[in-house]
Amino acid sequence: MVVLSFRDKLWEPPFLGFYKVNVDGSCCGGSLASEGVLRDSDGRWVTGFMAVANDANVFVAELLAIKGGLELVQRYEISFVILESGFMDALMMVFLEKVMLVMSCAKFTF
């Protein structure tokens, strides 16, 4: 289970048994950086990542950071995680893509 969370305050540890991935993307002059950190429920650092690229904007940088965070979750086979970002539009895009995927796979009966 992945919970998407908007970060608008100081970092708080996740619930017991959960992990938290904090991600951030930034852009300056067309170059971007995407980074993230994975911590356990005690706030201990597990791992992190950073990526750089050219010819992008801050929205793309944040989406790449979210993608990198989800890849960490998959690589470490984590079942319960909160993915936290400060960019609400990017979080909403990921959420809506998930909803559309679920709806396209659902079988409706009337």
H or E element, residue 34: strand 31-39
What kind of fold does domain 2-9+22-105 have according to CATH?
Nucleotidyltransferase; domain 5 (3.30.420)
List the domain boundaries for the chain. 2-9+22-105
H or E element, residue 91: helix 88-105
Q: What is the pLDDT of residues 19-74, one digit of tens each?
A: 999 999 888 887 889 999 999 999 999 999 999 988 778 888 888 888 899 899 99
First to last CA, the chain: 29
pTM of the entire predicted model: 0.77
pLDDT(109) > 50: no
